[in-house]
């Protein structure tokens, strides 16, 4: 099911767009990758602190990670959370508050990964790290149907490709996955790359291609299904619910993935938020559109985790 969510952007969510403008401007001034990453760590300032949530760093099958544990939550239900940042930036710290909003509203724990980043570590390092963390959760005694995936942008892509790899390795599927503003297409071929060029304040075709090159490395294949699920057989995936902004150049990534998933027999839904920028959910706790998006995800996933 595809649904468009009406509404004019609030002042708070417009700040996300203004922040992306600053990121684009600053990216041309940074002389090092570390400097660009340090600037990106300020993403966390967009998100309100959810409160009554404990944060505990851990090692999830060899992958650095952070538990977000809301007070009084049901601890045997877990959302496995994958941060965005083009695979080269972002961290469990930039996204801890965003995913804590999810966990608090659902009433479960969130495991927020800090997977290896490009260009130091190219594909398949990221999908292998996420799979290792999923295996670790299962080894901890968490049932697969008590786990849901979510992730934004690059993490949204991982929330699909990791399931493909898990399926092909014979692991049980989780209850659901919730990609946010997901980046799937390593070739940047979607029509929205042109139709939303200039509307999207963060990304354009050239930048997406440069990020893909950094992620794939010199010998990487942009049609590898574990990197680009638009070329994958999507059968046997769990239910998928995607949110995407109407002004994103990545809009068509979600639309095409949804179409392919439906043809493969997957239960898939997508909500498009007109006028919204890439990962506008980062303004959680401050912007009504962000909170509405999270509420929709929560309402959808709770029954799948047995929490309704």
Share of the chain above pLDDT 70, in %: 89
**Closest alpha carbon to 273 in 286, 298, 254, 258:** 254
Q: Are 48 and 286 in contact (CB under 8 A)?
A: yes
How would you label 261-273 residue by residue, b for 16+ Cβ within 10 Å and e otherwise? Answer: bbeeebebbbbbb
Residue-number span of the structural domain to which 21 is assigned: 2-304
pLDDT at res. 308: 80
237-286 residue pLDDT tens: 999 999 999 999 999 999 999 999 999 999 999 999 999 999 999 999 99
How would you label 290-300 residue by residue, b for 16+ Cβ within 10 Å and e otherwise? Answer: bbbbbebbbeb
Instruction: Give the helix/strand (H/E) hosting 269.
Output: strand 268-273
CATH number, domain at 282? Answer: 3.40.50.1820
DSSP type of residue 31:
S
Query: Can you give the pTM of this predicted structure?
Result: 0.93
Work out how many domains the chain is built from and give that number: 1
Q: How many CB atoms lie within 10 A of CB 125?
A: 17
| Phi and psi at residue 52, to the nearest 5° | 45, 45
145-177 residue pLDDT tens: 999 999 999 999 999 999 999 999 999 999 999
Residues in contact with 278: Cβ distance below 8 Å, sequence separation at least 6, in sequence order: 20, 153, 181, 200, 201, 202, 203, 245, 248, 250
Whether omega for the bond prior to residue 77 falls within 30 degrees of 0, making it cis, is no
Instruction: Provide the annotated active-site residues.
Output: 153, 248, 278
Q: Are 268 and 262 in contact (CB under 8 A)?
A: yes
């Amino acid at each position: 099911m595809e649904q468009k969510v009406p509404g004019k952007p609030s002042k708070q969510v417009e700040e996300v767009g203004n922040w992306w403008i600053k990121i684009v401007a600053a990216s041309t001034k940074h002389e090092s990758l570390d400097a660009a990453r340090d600037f990106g760590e300020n993403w966390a300032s967009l998100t309100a602190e959810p409160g009554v949530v404990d944060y505990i760093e851990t090692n999830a099958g060899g992958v650095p990670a952070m538990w977000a544990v809301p007070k009084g939550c049901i601890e045997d239900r877990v959302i496995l959370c994958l941060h965005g940042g083009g695979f080269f930036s972002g961290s469990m710290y930039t996204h801890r508050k965003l995913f804590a909003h999810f966990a608090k509203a659902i009433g479960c724990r969130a495991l927020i990964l800090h997977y290896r980043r490009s260009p130091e570590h190219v594909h398949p390092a990221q999908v292998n790290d996420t799979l290792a963390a999923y295996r670790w959760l299962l080894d901890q005694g968490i049932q697969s149907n008590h786990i849901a995936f979510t992730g934004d942008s690059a993490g949204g892509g991982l929330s699909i490709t990791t399931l493909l790899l898990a399926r092909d390795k014979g692991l049980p599927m989780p209850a659901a996955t919730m990609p946010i503003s997901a980046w799937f297409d390593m070739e940047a071929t979607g029509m929205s790359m042109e139709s939303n060029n200039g509307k999207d304040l963060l990304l354009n075709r050239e930048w997406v291609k440069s990020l893909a090159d950094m992620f794939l490395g010199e010998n990487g294949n942009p049609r590898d299904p574990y990197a680009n699920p638009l070329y994958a057989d999507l059968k046997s995936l769990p239910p998928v619910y995607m949110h995407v902004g109407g002004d994103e150049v990545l809009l068509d990534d979600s639309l095409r993935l949804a179409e392919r998933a439906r043809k493969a027999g997957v239960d898939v839904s997508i909500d498009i938020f007109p006028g919204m920028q890439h990962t506008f959910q980062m303004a959680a706790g401050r912007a009504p559109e962000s909170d509405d998006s999270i509420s929709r995800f929560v309402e959808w996933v709770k029954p799948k985790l047995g929490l309704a």
